[in-house]
Structure formats: C-alpha cells, structure tokens
Structure 1
C-alpha cells in the first residue's frame, strides 16, 4: 500500500453502531438487506452526505437502484428511517435522512424486554410464594387463602420477601394462620417496614419491649431455657 492510499484510508474515518442493534436487528423486524442499507445510510450521514440517492446507496451493495428505492420506501413506511426537512444558515430548505425512529424502536424494545423480564420474575416469585405457604401449612391452600395471598401482593403491594418474613414470624410464634400473618403485614406496613432487615430488627425490638420486667430480671434456670425467645402476639 502506498503512503497516499494509507492516508486516504485513514481519512475515510469510521463509524460505530451499538452492539445491541447488531445483535437484535432481526428481533426489531429487519432483514439483512434492510440492516445493511441502514448502515450505509448511517455511514453516509456520518461522513456529511446527509441525503444520499438510491443509486449512491445501491453502489455500496449488491442491489440495483430500483430495489434500493423499494427497501428505502419500506423502511420509511415501517418507521425505521425518516426524512426530515431542515433549514441552513441561509434559510435554504434541505432534506436529510434521520435514524432517530430506529433508535426509538431499539430503546422501546429494550424497555419492553426489561418489563417482560420483571413480569416473569414477579410470576416466579409469586409461584414460589404459594409453594412455600403450602409447604409450611402442610396442605394445598384454600381458594380463600389463595385470594388473600394474591391481595397481599396486588392490592397491598407487599413484597414477596416481606410476606415470607411474616410467614416465618407466624411459624416461629406457633400461630400459623392467615389472620395472624395479615396482622403482621398490617403492623409492618403501618410502621414503614419494607425490607427484610427492617422486619427482623422491628421484630426483635418488639419482642424485647414486650417482655415483662420481672421476666427480664430472671436468670435462666437451665440450659434448655437459655435460648428461649419470647414472641410478640401480633393479634393483641
């Protein structure tokens, strides 16, 4: 390669495309010809040629100008490309290609995908929650209990982690019933408890504050009582 050719190569510059677009253009509804045509339009615009003709674009590909025109029309109709009217400093009107519609589609696809992942995660958490409750109760939940569990999540907006913590509280307190768990959740929500750590700390403080003074001063009689933990009755 001669020195002049190498300089020309460097002066042509380069342009970048998001890897996300490269990996997902098919899911966005583009085929290979459409995607490559968009890349060429992008390259033209980046190099200062803001409104290349179908012939100029086709010259970069293995298609003729007529097919290029058809692909461009399709991309414009489907909202992957846009032609915008602008004014220069001399108030002369000119047209240019814009890839903003494509970027908007890509961003919307990303948001939708994230939303779907969140929905699926919530469904998995919900299914796991029903399974945990049935394991603790040792039986299938009744329709009323299933409805109550659903209301805690959908209407009261309790996080599944908090519901599991309330279930654990009911289990260790020996009061395994939905009324007791509902009361725990009510008290936690009223006191701004939203995380597992907050629930654990709140439970410890509540138990400690509800130990009778005489009991607090009594030393354990034997080792079997040493680890006994007093539990707060949330229904009182």
Structure 2
C-alpha cells in the first residue's frame, strides 16, 4: 500500500461541517469551547454514536469531565442542544443528542450582534 493510498483512505473518513457554523458561532454567543464540544457531538453522530458520554467526549478534548458536563448543560439550557428519545432498531427507547436546535438557529434565525 502506498502513502498516497493511505492518505486517500483517510480523506474518505471526513465529517462535513457547515461553513456557517465555523464563521457565525461567535455571533450566536457560542464560545470556542462550546463549538468544539458541538463539533465532537456532530462527529460522534456521524459515527453512529448519538449519545456520547462526557467521558467519551473528553477523550478527544483537553478538558475535564466536569467541564464537559457543564458545557453540555449550558448548551441545553441555551437551546443549542437537546436530548430526545428515539426508538432504536429493537423498538427500545434510547436517548440521543440532537443538534436540531442549533441548526434551526443557524439557518433560520438572524445572529445577534457580538457583545464586546
């Protein structure tokens, strides 16, 4: 296997991120830390883990589990993230994180002016 093939393989395992999220997060009052937690939740969902634990999230971050839990709580309280119940393939109810509130704000609402 050549190096270029290995790189090509890695390039096929990418997560799409909306440019508007990267360019507008601050105007919605999100911090860089909140953005990175959101990006990790988005990545986990892309990998079919719809309810990563704070411990799973921090495995890719440089923060403590308590900080991660606090950020998750704040994102839920500020209505950027929600926890929903969904039925899995076995007809069991499971909880999942939903970024739908964030996507609605991002693509339907006007951002607030950034406070300085």
Instruction: Decide: shared fold, TM above 0.5.
Output: yes
1:95 aligns to what SS in structure 2? strand
Structure 1 regions of 5+ residues with no counterpart? Answer: 114-236
Q: Give the SS at the match of 1:75.
A: helix
Match of 1:228 in 2: none
Which of the pair is proportionally richer in strand? 2
Return the TM-score normalized by structure 1.
Answer: 0.42
Equivalent residues in 2 for 1:115-134, closer than 5 Å: none
How many residues end up aligned between the 2 structures?
109
Q: Structure 2: 5+ residue runs without aligned partners?
A: none
For the Cα contact (< 8 Å) 1:28–1:109, is it kept in 2? no
- Which residue of the partner structure matches residue 102 of structure 2? 102
Distance (Å, rounded) in 2 between the aligned partners of 1:47 and 1:12: 13
Rounded Cα–Cα distance in structure 2 between residues aligned with 1:50 and 1:12: 21
Cα distance in 2 for partners of 1:11, 1:48 equals 19
Structure label with greater radius of gyration: 1
1:13–1:108: structure 2 CA closer, same or farther, 3 Å change rule? same
After TM superposition, list the pairs within 5 Å mapping 1:25-40 onto structure 2: 25-40=25-40
Residue aligned with 1:25, SS = helix
Return the alpha-carbon distance in structure 2 between the equivalents of residues 12 and 56 of structure 1: 23
What is the CA RMSD across the aligned residues, in angstroms? 2.3
Structure 1 match to 2:78:
78
Measured after TM superposition, the shift of residue 13 of structure 1 is 1.1
Structure 2-normalised TM-score?
A: 0.83
- Could you say which residue in structure 2 is the equivalent of 1:185? none
Q: How many angstroms apart in 2 are the aligned matches of 1:59 and 1:12?
A: 22
Cα distance in 2 between the residues matched to 1:24 and 1:102:
12
Q: 1:88 to 1:69 in 2, by over 3 A?
A: same
Structure-2 residue corresponding to 1:156: none
Q: CA deviation at 1:40?
A: 0.4
Classify the secondary structure of the residue corresponding to 1:52: coil
1:140 matched residue in structure 2: none
